[in-house]
Structure formats: C-alpha cells, structure tokens
Amino acid sequence: METDFGARRERRMRLLRALYGRTDADVRLYEDAHEIAVELGIDHDEVPRIIAYLEERGYVVATGATGATIRITADGIDRVESGG
C-alpha cells in the first residue's frame, strides 16, 4: 500500500487539471478519464479511485458504463483556478 500521500494527491490534481485543460473549463463536455490517465502516466488501476475521490469532493461528475467518462463541475473549475 502506498504511503506517499503527497504523490497520490498530486496525481488526483493532475488529472483534474488535465480535464480542465481538455474541456477549456466547460462543464458541458465529457472526457475519458482513462485516456487522460495514460497521457499523465497514471496507472490504469488507480483511475477508479481517483474518479471516486474527485466525484465525492464534487469536482467531477462520472457517467458511462465504466464510470470513467467524466466532466468537470463548477467546483472543480474553482479548485483548479484557485491553485489546485
């Protein structure tokens, strides 16, 4: 089990920032979280955990058969723009 909390937090925020960039901060646009993770070098198995965390915080909405199709929320945009 990983104990580097800072690295885990950074991966979550990198994915959120990448989603923000891919959608140009548009809350109407959906992206595939697994595609974003590949670009960022995030392990495929970690994606569901990251999505669950971001969704619980209200930063993303997840949908689709696997729950990996996500869109950023207004709270997610605010988080990124506040330095997240």
Q: What is the pLDDT of residues 53-62, one digit of tens each?
A: 999 999 999 9
pLDDT at 64 (0 to 100): 86
2-35 burial code (b ≥16 CB/10 A, e <16): eeeeeeeeebbbbbbbbbbebbebeeeebbebbe
- Tell me, what amino acid is at 31? E
pLDDT per residue over 8-37, tens digit each?
Answer: 999 999 999 999 999 999 999 999 999 999
Which residue segments constitute the domains of the chain, with CATH numbers given?
A: 5-81 (1.10.10.10)
pLDDT of residue 39: 97
| pLDDT value of residue 67 | 87
Higher-confidence position of 67 and 84: 67
The pLDDT of residue 1 is above 70: no
| The pLDDT value given to residue 66 | 84
Q: Write out the two tokens for 34.
A: 């697994």
